Amino acid sequence: MKITRIHDLYFKEFVSKNEISRIVKDLAVQVKNDLPENEVPLFIGILNGCFVFAADFVRVYKGDCEISFVKLASYEGTSSTDKVKKLIGVNEDLEGRTVVILEDVIDTGNTLQEIYEIFKSKNLKELKIATLFFKPDVYRKELPINYVGKSIPDSFIVGYGLDYNGYGRNLPAVYQLTTQPKMKNIVLFGPPGAGKGTQATILKEKYNLVHISTGDVFRYNIKNETELGVLAKKYIDAGELVPDEVTISMLKDEVEKNVGVDGFIFDGFPRTESQAIALEEFLAEKGEGINGMVALEVHEDLLVERILERGKTSGRSDDTDEEKIRNRFNEYNTKTAVLKDFYDEKGNYHGVDGVGSIEDITERLSEIFDKL
């Protein structure tokens, strides 16, 4: 399923580019077939939504035609109570013409009715309506619609000229809103040794979230000598990242194991841009997303000290060997640090000073968690 984020919401593909193209062609053929042989119709597109449909429609219409666009605007009449609707853009002399109104989508039919009445008063030869999409469940008018490309249920659609808050008109396919996100999903971010694990253990209780640490899952698998553990061991021992496909599929399995939860704290994932994209897409398929990346910012020199200290008790070989530790930082700086920009561009990055007592840092993180 193709998922796309528009502004702050996720949408799934509803009518593909190819299907739209077939529908538009069919409509053009039907309209042409119903007109007298040499009739030159005037197509009138209702702005803004229909501009893409109208442009594609006239290019597959086989015959002479004219095209014009109108917009319905309301303005105050002479008396203050008097709201008048006016069509802007009709300059042609319409008397005796065959006019076909092109609409992108007809739902209640209110706008259409007003436009129809205005054209009706202009002594036309014939007035017809063609719409790309039609929502029969919400249509409230008697007006016959001569050509319907596709009848659709009453859901919010966007793309192919249709917008959400002004965005999405340029998408070549039509998308439908996925379900509203219900979970709180947070990426706890920071270099190795920043304290992600410690803080996640506290915050998961406080916010009733499931903590997924990819490092812990790998170590569990290594300990139990699973196939995954054997594969991951050589990378982890060298302080290198485990390949994306392995890590991504493991992460998905971990998420799937937890049905109906309030959300997740992702600790140690994503660590590459492909992982970040995979995570977004995977959550979007469920109508969910990442509420934010919360990062513990700590200087590297301090981190090496911390990790060596931790190595005395953690039992992790990648915590005791300084060369491996340096390698982990190298991986972090070359592959993971860029994720700051990835989330920052979406306004989703929140940095916190990671130096101080555990309680103080929990406090700082909580301030952000509360807002996400």
Which residues of this protein are in contact with ligand AMP, per CB under 6 A?
192, 214-215, 218, 235-236, 239-242, 247, 268-269, 271, 275, 328
Report, in Å, the least distance between residue 3 CB and ligand AMP: 21
Residue of closest CB approach to ligand AMP: 215
Residue 328 annotated as catalytic: yes
Report, in Å, the least distance between residue 206 CB and ligand AMP: 21
Q: Exactly one of 5, 316, 335, 340 is catalytic; name it.
A: 316
Report, in Å, the least distance between residue 230 CB and ligand AMP: 14
Residue 316 annotated as catalytic: yes
Report, in Å, the least distance between residue 47 CB and ligand AMP: 47
Residue at token pair 């796309």 = 4
Q: Enter the DSSP assignment of 334.
A: I
Residue 326 annotated as catalytic: no
**Shorter beta-carbon distance to ligand AMP: residue 195 or 268:** 268
Instruction: Give the residue among 103, 114, 117 at the shortest CA–CA distance from 146.
Output: 103
Residue 5 annotated as catalytic: no
Instruction: Give the residue among 354, 300, 294 at the shortest CA–CA distance from 330.
Output: 300
Q: Exactly one of 196, 204, 219, 324 is catalytic; name it.
A: 196
CA distance 8 to 195: 30
Is residue 68 within 8 Å of 90, Cβ to Cβ?
A: yes
Residue 196 annotated as catalytic: yes
What is the chain's length?
372
- Which long-range contacts link 70-74 to residues 24+ away (Cβ below 8 Å)? 70/44, 70/45, 70/46, 70/115, 71/46, 71/47, 72/46, 72/111, 72/114, 72/115
Q: Which stretches within the chain are classed as H helix?
A: 17-34, 51-60, 110-120, 196-207, 214-223, 227-237, 244-256, 273-285, 300-314, 322-331, 339-344, 358-371
Report, in Å, the least distance between residue 271 CB and ligand AMP: 4
Structure tokens that stand for 310 in this block: 């931790």
**Shorter beta-carbon distance to ligand AMP: residue 66 or 341:** 341
CA distance 35 to 99: 11
Q: Exactly one of 128, 135, 219, 271 is catalytic; name it.
A: 271
Bridge partner residues of 46 (DSSP): 70
CA distance 125 to 95: 7
**Shorter beta-carbon distance to ligand AMP: residue 119 or 218:** 218
**Shorter beta-carbon distance to ligand AMP: residue 31 or 307:** 307
Q: Exactly one of 5, 86, 122, 310 is catalytic; name it.
A: 310
**Shorter beta-carbon distance to ligand AMP: residue 197 or 287:** 197
Q: Which stretches within 67-224 are classed as H helix?
A: 110-120, 196-207, 214-223
Report, in Å, the least distance between residue 214 CB and ligand AMP: 3
**Shorter beta-carbon distance to ligand AMP: residue 119 or 269:** 269
Q: Which residues are catalytic?
A: 196, 271, 310, 316, 328
